[in-house]
Amino acid sequence: MSLFEDIGNNVVEDIEFVEITDEDRNIIRKARFIILDTAIIYNEEEDFYYTLATCINENKEIETISIESFGIQENVLEFKGAYIDYEEYEQNSKINYTGRIYCL
């Protein structure tokens, strides 16, 4: 028996996501993007790879953002064309960001 049973064309039940907030968190920006392309960039100084996504935002402007540590919904088979709900916030005088990648 497989860990993943064949669910056929059944629709996945609606899942409600609960936003976890922190009182020290000051939201600077919220945005929704559609991914156009992705790239993995190596930083020699830090010996670290970054995953970047070139996207289009709600204003039809092109932006490139890092998608490190973003949550990825299980039905995302390919990044191109997927959506990102992005949130940029300040916490303890430091700018941070978080996001969720998903398909409709």
Cα–Cα distance measured from residue 68 to residue 97, given in angstroms and rounded to the nearest whole number: 9
CATH number at residue 52: 2.40.50
Please report whether residue 69 resides in a domain: yes
Of 87, 92, 89, 77, the C-alpha closest to 33 is: 87
Domain-embedded: residue 85: yes
Inside any domain, residue 52: yes
Distance CA 82, CA 76 (A): 7
Q: Output the six-digit token pair for 84.
A: 């990102």
The domain tally of the chain equals 1
Kindly state whether residue 16 falls inside one of the protein's structural domains: no
The DSSP output letter for 24 is T
11 domain-assigned: no
pLDDT per residue rounded down to tens, the chain (104 residues): 444 444 444 444 444 444 555 566 789 999 999 999 999 999 999 999 999 999 999 999 999 999 999 999 999 999 999 999 999 999 888 999 999 999 98
Instruction: Tell me what pLDDT residue 13 has.
Output: 47
Decide if 87 is inside a domain.
yes
The residue segments making up the domain with residue 30 are 25-102
